[in-house]
C-alpha cells in the first residue's frame, strides 16, 4: 500500500512516499520510494524532489499556498520523469499520514481524520499556535485534492507522552490553571522517541514490559524521554517545546523570573521575549555564532572559540542532568539511546555527555562511538558498562506511514 507522508510547516511541505502494509511492517520490509521538500511556499518556492536511488532535482516555481505545493508534488510523483516506481496515477496513493504537533489531552494515539478530528486539531491551536495551523494546511490541501476516498491519518508528536503520570505532567502552579486551561506538560518528539524505542526493542529482542530506557533526541530541537515498561513516564519538553534541554535556538529550562526582569531592564514586550526564548537563545544565544552544532564544533577545534566551547559544554551538561534525573525517577535504566542529527552524527558530543558518568553505570567505547555515524545503528558502550548506550537513527516518517496503515486496517498501534 502506497502511503504519502506529509509534514507541513508554515511555509514548507516535506513529504515521503512509503510502500508498506501490515506484512511489510512485521518483516521491516517497508520501502521509501521518494521524498522531497518545498520551501518558501507563498513566494518563489524552492522545490527539491528525489526518487529513491536517483539524484535530487531542484527547481523553483511560484506556489501561492500549500494546495499548490501539494499539487506540484503529486504531478511530479505521477509523471514518468520522476522515476518513482508503483505510482503511475494519483489513484495509486492509498492513504496519507500527517504529522501533527499538538494533540492536547484528546489524542493519545494516531487517528483517522474526519471532520470531528479536524475540529479537535483546530481546538488544539491555542496550545501550539505556530505548529498546528501549519499542520492543518497540509490536511486541508490533501483532503481537497485527494477527496474523501483516500483515508488520511493524523500522527501526533504528543501522543506517545500521554502515558506520563500526573506527577510528571503537572506543573507546581495553582491546580485550577490545569483544570481551566489544561496548563500542563505534554512533551513533543513523541514519534521519534517511540521509533527509537521500537528499534531498541527489536534489536535487543526485549518485550514492551522489559523496555526501560532513556531516549535522547538531539537535533535542532532536543528532548529526553524516560521510558519505563515501554511507556513514556517523563519527557523534557513541556506545555510547548521550549522546556528542557538546550537546543539550537531555544534555551530550555530557565528561571521564569528572568522574563519579568528583562521586561523591566530591556523594555522587552511579551512578543519580543517569546522571540528571544525561541529564536535567539540556546547554542546560538550562548555562542553568538550559530545554532548549528557542526559549525560550533569546527569553531572550537579550529579557533578555540571560548563561547563556542561554552555553548557546547552547557548543552552537554544539561543532557547529563536529565540522564541523572531520569535514572533516579526510574530507579535505573538498561540503556540510553541517542538519536537526531547531533545524537546520530556527533561522536564528540556523545563522548562529552557520557564522560564521567560511571556513577550511573554509563561508559562508552571510543572506537565504537567514532564508528557509529551516518545513520548507522549500534551499541557504543564499553564492555564493562552496566547501562548500554545505543545510537539509533530516527525515522519519524516511517512510523507515520506505519501508523497510517494500522489506522486504515484498524490494527493495534502500540509501537
Least separation in angstroms between residue 293's CB and ligand AMP is 4
Stretch touching ligand AMP by CB under 6 A, among 111-119, 203-211, 334-342, 407-415:
334-342
Collapsing DSSP states into helix, strand and coil, what is residue 377?
A: coil
Total residues contacting ligand AMP (rule CB under 6 A)?
A: 12
Q: Helix (H, G, I), strand (E, B), or coil: what is residue 151?
A: coil
- Which of 82, 191, 345, 395 is close enough to bind ligand AMP by CB under 6 A? 345
> In this complex, which beta carbon is closest to ligand AMP, that of residue 292 or of residue 334?
292
Binding span for ligand AMP by CB under 6 A among 66-74, 146-154, 197-205, 342-350:
342-350
Which one of the listed residues 157, 305, 379, 403 is annotated catalytic?
157
Distance, CA of 311 to CA of 294 (rounded, Å):
12
Nearest CB to ligand AMP, comparing residues 162 and 281 = 281
24 vs 371 by CB, closer to ligand AMP = 371
**How many whole angstroms separate alpha carbon 300 and alpha carbon 289?**
11
| Per CB under 6 A, 298 contacts ligand AMP | no
* Per-residue CA distances from 59 to 46, 55, 79, 184 (Å): 6, 13, 16, 43
Cβ pair 147, 93 in contact under 8 A? no
Q: Does 369 bind ligand AMP (CB under 6 A)?
A: no
Q: Select the residue interacting with ligand AMP from 219, 252, 282, 393 (CB under 6 A).
A: 219
148 contact partners, CB below 8 Å, separation of at least 6: none
* Residue in 342, 364, 399, 407 binding ligand AMP, rule: CB under 6 A: 342
Interatomic CA distance for residues 331 and 121, integer angstroms: 36
Asked if 48 interacts with ligand AMP (CB under 6 A), we say no
- Of 219 and 238, the one with the shorter C-beta distance to ligand AMP is 219
Site for ligand AMP in 268-297 (CB under 6 A): 292-294, 297
Does position 241 interact with ligand AMP (CB under 6 A)? The reply is no
Q: 376: which DSSP letter? A: -
Single out the residue of 271, 197, 278 nearest to residue 237, CA to CA: 278
- Asked if residues 167 and 201 have their Cβ atoms less than 8 Å apart, the reply is no
Query: CA 39 to CA 63: how far, in whole Å?
Result: 10
The helix or strand, by DSSP H or E, that contains position 307, with its residue range, turns out to be helix 306-330
For the record, the C-alpha cell of 362 comes out as 554509563
Residue 239 DSSP code: S
Question: Among residues 250, 341, 362, 402, which is the contact residue for ligand AMP, using CB under 6 A?
Answer: 341
30 part of the interface to ligand AMP, by CB under 6 A: no
State which of residues 32, 120, 163, 220 lies at the interface with ligand AMP (CB under 6 A). Answer: 220
Please name every residue paired with 6 in a beta bridge, in sequence order, or none if there are none.
15, 98
If one asks whether residue 409 binds ligand AMP (CB under 6 A), the answer comes out as no
157 is catalytic: yes
Using CA atoms in the order 301, 307, 311, 314, what is the torsion angle rounded to 10 degrees?
A: 110
Q: Does 340 bind ligand AMP (CB under 6 A)?
A: yes
Closer by beta carbon to ligand AMP, 152 or else 394:
394
Determine if 252 is a binding residue for ligand AMP (CB under 6 A): no
Q: Which residues have a catalytic role annotated?
A: 157
Using CB under 6 A, list all residues that contact ligand AMP: 219-220, 248, 292-294, 297, 340-342, 345-346
Amino acid at each position: 500500500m502506497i502511503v504519502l507522508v506529509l509534514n507541513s510547516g508554515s511555509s514548507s511541505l516535506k513529504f515521503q512516499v512509503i510502500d508498506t502494509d501490515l506484512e511489510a511492517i512485521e518483516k521491516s520490509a517497508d520501502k521509501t520510494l521518494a521524498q522531497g521538500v518545498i520551501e518558501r511556499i507563498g513566494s518563489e518556492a524552492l522545490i527539491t524532489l528525489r526518487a529513491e536511488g536517483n539524484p535530487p532535482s531542484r527547481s523553483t516555481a511560484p506556489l501561492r499556498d500549500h494546495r499548490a505545493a501539494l499539487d506540484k508534488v503529486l504531478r511530479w510523483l505521477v509523471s514518468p520523469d520522476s522515476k518513482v516506481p508503483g505510482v503511475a496515477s494519483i489513484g495509486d496513493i492509498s492513504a496519507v499520514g500527517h504529522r501533527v504537533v499538538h494533540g492536547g489531552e484528546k489524542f493519545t494515539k494516531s487517528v483517522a481524520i474526519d471532520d470531528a478530528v479536524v475540529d479537535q486539531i483546530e481546538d488544539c491551536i491555542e496550545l501550539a499556535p505556530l505548529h498546528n495551523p501549519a499542520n492543518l494546511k497540509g490536511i486541508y490541501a490533501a483532503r481537497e485534492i485527494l477527496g474523501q476516498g483516500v483515508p488520511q491519518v493524523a500522527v501526533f508528536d504528543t501522543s506517545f507522552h500521554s502515558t506520563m503520570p500526573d506527577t510528571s505532567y503537572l506543573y507546581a502552579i495553582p491546580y485550577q490553571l490545569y483544570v481551566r486551561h489544561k496548563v500542563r506538560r505534554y512533551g513533543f518528539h513523541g514519534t521519534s522517541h517511540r521509533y527509537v524505542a521500537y528499534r531498541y526493542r527489536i534489536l535487543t529482542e526485549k518485550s514492551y514490559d522489559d523496555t526501560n530506557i532513556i531516549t535522547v533526541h538531539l537535533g535542532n530541537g532536543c528532548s529526553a524521554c524516560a521510558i519505563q515498561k515501554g511507556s513514556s513516564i517523563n519527557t523534557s519538553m513541556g506545555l510547548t517545546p521550549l522546556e528542557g534541554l538546550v537546543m539550537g535556538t531555544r534555551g530550555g529550562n530557565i528561571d521564569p523570573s528572568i522574563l519579568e526582569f528583562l521586561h523591566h531592564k530591556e523594555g522587552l514586550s511579551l512578543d519580543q521575549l517569546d522571540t528571544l526564548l525561541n529564536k535567539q537563545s540556546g547554542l546560538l544565544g550562548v555562542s553568538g555564532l550559530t545554532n548549528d552544532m557542526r559549525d560550533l564544533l569546527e569553531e572550537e577545534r579550529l579557533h578555540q572559540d571560548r563561547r563556542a566551547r561554552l555553548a557546547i559544554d552547557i548543552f552537554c551538561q544539561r543532557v547529563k542532568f536529565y540522564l541523572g534525573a531520569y535514572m533516579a525517577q526510574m530507579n535505573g535504566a538498561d540503556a540510553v539511546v541517542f538519536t537526531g542529527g547531533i545524537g546520530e552524527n556527533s561522536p564528540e558530543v556523545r563522548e562529552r555527555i557520557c564522560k564521567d558518568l560511571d556513577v550511573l553505570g554509563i561508559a562508552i567505547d571510543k572506537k565504537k562511538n567514532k564508528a557509529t555515524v551516518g545513520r548507522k545503528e549500534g551499541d557504543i558502550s564499553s564492555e564493562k558498562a552496566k547501562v548500554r548506550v545505543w545510537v539509533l537513527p530516527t525515522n519519524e516518517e516511517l512510523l507515520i506511514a506505519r501508523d497510517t496503515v494500522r489506522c486504515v486496517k484498524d490494527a493495534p498501534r502500540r509501537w
